[in-house]
Amino acid sequence: MTVSTLQKDRYNYKPHMPQILKKDVKSININKGNATESVSDRTELKQMFPKTYGMPVATLSENENPAAGNKINVGVVLSGGQAPGGHNVIAGLFDGIKAGNPESKLYGFLGGPAGLIEDKKIEITPEYLDEYRNTGGFDIIGSGRTKLETTEQFDSSLDVCKKNGISAVVIIGGDDSNTNAAMLAEYFASKDAGVQVIGCPKTIDGDLKNEHIETSFGFDTATKTFSELVGNIERDANSAKKYWHFIKLMGRSASHIALECALQTQPNYTVISEEVEEKKTSLTEIVNDITDVIVKRANNSENFGVVLVPEGLIEFIPEMGVLISELNNLLAEKEEYYNTLTTFEDQSEFINKNLSKDSSYVFSALPNNIQRQLLMDRDPHGNVQVSRIETEMLLIEMVEDKLKELKTEGKYNGSFSHQHHFFGYEGRCAFPSNFDSDYCYSLGYTAFTLIANGLTGYMSSVKNLSKPASEWVPGGIPVTMMMNLEIRHGKNKPVIKKALVELDGKPFKTFAANRDEWAIKTSFRYPGAIQYYGPDEVCNAPTITLSLEKE
């Protein structure tokens, strides 16, 4: 394989670690706190997870742990969408295992959870791993979206572990993947199988976080990559001075990416979905707000600008959220019949007959292409695939219509030329930043220490992340502690509660305090490319979001 000079150099990068992880692994023990509770639905979840509910938070401490030297076999799974740093989680896990006992083995299950079910795997060797250290992507073993949730899948997974002498499985994934990990841990514990399950927090969306998981890995790299691209577009807009750029940013359920990119680049307008929901802002009101900014800038002879739109916005707009909820439930209940309808006209007629009056009106008023996108195949949870909905195009069309109306009334004399973009895949497999390289390696190494201390049903955690890596605090968090019940395919399912943007948090307040000025006065900020060498404030700084949260 031909590699770039940067790639060769990154192979040799030595991730920084918390001080305690630099100790002999046989001298790393754990301290256990008090029993924990789930964030809600406690009675139901305690019944669902009788073996693993209520476990204490674990922190690492320096004390003898001879068990860390036992020879073991561990399996690792990459689950869900890619996020920068996944390879380093595996590297940290591998190095921890080998530090415990050089004869221990790490098996990588291929293609995600399906590899665990079907016993498709490779042994991770030093030579093989060295080609992936500090690089982006999940191509070391591949990923997949198979859900671990049926008894047959659990039985098969257990058989595979027994067959290969595997005593622990590490699942690297987002909220749903770690929920599946918790269910697998509960199942193994109920069978007294002797197989531990540990999760690691991954998602570039940034919505897997809480007081113990300060950020999910990949968020740092992805937002810095997106911010570079947004900054480049801002520079172009300020140079050409003739386009309005509407940029949709990845983030299905939360606006963390949009908020961080706004803080990094200071665009003219940024929609924050959580604020839209809180204020019950209608689609028309959003369009009017954007139009107002465009008109004011046109009055200053600035017929250009940048608008950031979170991917999941459409579900947070009140009337659209109700419509989508009705669509999800209707298509879950009538899936068999709906699948017999082969034309859009038949589908649309069926939908309008079965929606409430208000939702039918909203659906009918949408542009035809948006209607079609709302009726596309559902995601694995039975929900609309919001990434396929061209929200940025919907806003452009509606803004354009509003501006024509204002021009007819003599209230607008500018010009509106537009471009649209969607940044998602561009950030999922980027070279991880130094922060993500260090953080992910520490998560993997910590996962081994949790295994070595006999824990299961835990998520690897590293805290104090706004400080230098040597001051980070590793430990383990019971996954059930983060759970609530949500409706999936029309039924209540245990899931890790998503963390949305907190409107009373410092990151949002900082944004809100500045956005009116950014709207009218061109205040673009150009972050530039991720840097790997130089002063800490240049190459090792965390996101603005994390820094503000920990001030």
Q: How do the pLDDT tens digits run along the chain, 551 residues long?
A: 678 899 899 999 999 999 999 999 999 999 999 999 999 999 999 999 999 999 999 999 999 999 999 999 999 999 999 999 999 999 999 999 999 999 999 999 999 999 999 999 999 999 999 999 999 999 999 999 999 989 999 999 999 999 999 999 999 999 999 999 999 999 999 999 999 999 999 999 999 999 999 999 999 999 999 999 999 999 999 999 999 999 999 988 899 999 999 999 999 999 999 999 999 999 999 999 999 999 999 999 999 999 999 999 998 999 998 998 899 889 888 888 988 998 999 999 999 999 999 999 999 988 888 899 888 877 766 677 777 889 999 999 999 999 999 999 999 999 999 999 999 999 999 999 999 999 999 999 999 999 999 999 999 999 999 999 999 999 999 999 999 998 876 788 999 999 999 999 999 999 999 999 999 999 999 999 999 999 999 999 999 999 999 98
Whether 47 contacts 496, CB under 8 Å: no
Residue whose token pair is 């669902």: 48
CATH 3.30.70.600 fits 220-311+390-429+499-551, yes or no: no
Residue whose token pair is 């996954």: 479
Of the candidate CATH numbers 3.40.50.300, 1.10.357.140, 1.10.10.480, 2.60.320.10, the domain formed by 316-388 belongs to 1.10.10.480
Q: Is the dihedral of CA 351, 352, 354, 355 positive or negative?
A: positive
Region for 274 from its dihedrals, namely left if φ exceeds 0, alpha if ψ lies in -120 to 50, beta otherwise: alpha
Exposed, middle or buried: residue 547 (CB in 10 Å: 0-12, 13-18, 19+)?
A: middle
Q: Is the dihedral of CA 373, 374, 376, 382 positive or negative?
A: positive
Domain regions of the chain by residue span: 5-218+432-488, 220-311+390-429+499-551, 316-388
- pTM of the predicted protein model: 0.94
- Strand extents, DSSP E, 152-237: 166-173, 196-201
Tell me if domain 220-311+390-429+499-551 and domain 316-388 are identical in fold.
no
CATH topology (fold) of 5-218+432-488: Rossmann fold (3.40.50)
The DSSP output letter for 354 is: H
Whether 105 contacts 168, CB under 8 Å: no
Closest CA to 262 of 29, 457, 14, 509: 509
Tell me the catalytic residues: 205
Whether 523 contacts 517, CB under 8 Å: yes
Please state, in angstroms and rounded to a whole number, the distance separating the CA atoms of residues 546 and 439: 13
Task: Count the Cβ atoms, other than its own, within 10 Å of residue 241.
Answer: 12
Residues with Cβ < 8 Å from 347, sequence gap 6 or more?
338, 341, 375
Whether 212 contacts 126, CB under 8 Å: no
Residues with Cβ < 8 Å from 373, sequence gap 6 or more?
388, 389, 390
